[in-house]
Amino acid sequence: MANFTPTARTKVRRKPERGSYDRELIYRILDEAFVCHVAFLVDGLPFVVPTNYVRVGERLFLHGSIASRLMKTLASGAPFCLSVTLLDGIVCAPTATGHSVNYRSVVVMGKAEIVEGEAAKLAAMRDFVEYVIRGRWATVHPPTEQELKGTTVLSVPLVEASAKVRTGFAINPDEEYEGAGWTGVIPMRWMSQAPVLDPRGNPKIPAPANIQKYSRPQ
């Protein structure tokens, strides 16, 4: 599959050397991240709403209550912009303004299509659950017809997307390193903690490996 083509909207102008349209890189970032922020306009006012998504092939799927403003707006075909961010490190520089962060982020521009039909919605719900915790779907009750009716599922073709990646240390000139402050990078990683059993959960069911050793990407 070819890389993304930069468009007037996705051409990285600030620090373009950090920009990328590499499809594999963009998919890796999307698959590791968990939360996206969706920006859209309602009556000329901007909203940015966090939500979950799943990538399946060349598409992202979003889902939510049929009552959700986010879902209703996107379902109307309104253009939106979505981003995800992985924070990889805090960059300590010798100067206040030299501080930075190491990150991998993706911006997607798009329009959503409504996923119609019970079978297609059910398949998308399965993909959501498996995206969050692989192997989980087989162990839980599937959505009921009523639950599916109350859920909007949207599909977003991945057509316009960009990545931006910062790595490494501060980029201050050598002479600025003569001060007293420590310089370097504090690596950051998003990780799971030991799972906690629901008080109403069955203590005879041990947490399986996909829960005990949860990590991303799944």
Ligand X SMILES: Cc1cc2nc3c(=O)[nH]c(=O)nc-3n(C[C@H](O)[C@H](O)[C@H](O)COP(=O)(O)OP(=O)(O)OC[C@H]3O[C@@H](n4cnc5c(N)ncnc54)[C@H](O)[C@@H]3O)c2cc1C
Q: Which residues bind ligand X (CB under 6 A)?
A: 9-14, 85, 87, 101, 103, 105-107, 162-164
DSSP three-state, residue 168: coil
20 forms beta bridges with: 163
Nearer CB in complex with ligand X: 17/43: 17
Residue type, 91: V
Residue number, 14 or 204, with CB nearest to ligand X: 14
Tokens of 59: 């598409």
Nearer residue to ligand X within complex by CB, 22 or 147: 22
* Chain residue at closest Cβ approach to ligand X: 164
Closest-CA residue to 108 (of 133, 74, 76): 74
Rounded to whole angstroms, how far apart are CA atoms 163 and 156? 17
Vertex 110 angle, CA 105 and 87, to 5°? 10
- The H-assigned helical ranges of the chain are 23-32, 69-75, 118-132, 145-149, 209-212
Judge whether 161 and 108 are in contact, CB under 8 Å. yes
Q: What is the smallest separation between the CB atom of 90 and ligand X, expressed in angstroms?
A: 10
Closest approach, Cβ 11 to ligand X, in A, equals 6
Whichever of 9 and 134 has its CB closer to ligand X, that residue is 9
* In the complex, least distance from residue 118 CB atom to ligand X, rounded to whole angstroms: 36
The minimum distance between CB 192 and ligand X, in angstroms, equals 21
User: Which CB atom, from 58 or from 118, has the smaller least distance to ligand X?
Assistant: 58
Rg of the chain (C-alpha set): 21
Q: How far is the CB of 106 from ligand X (least distance, A)?
A: 5
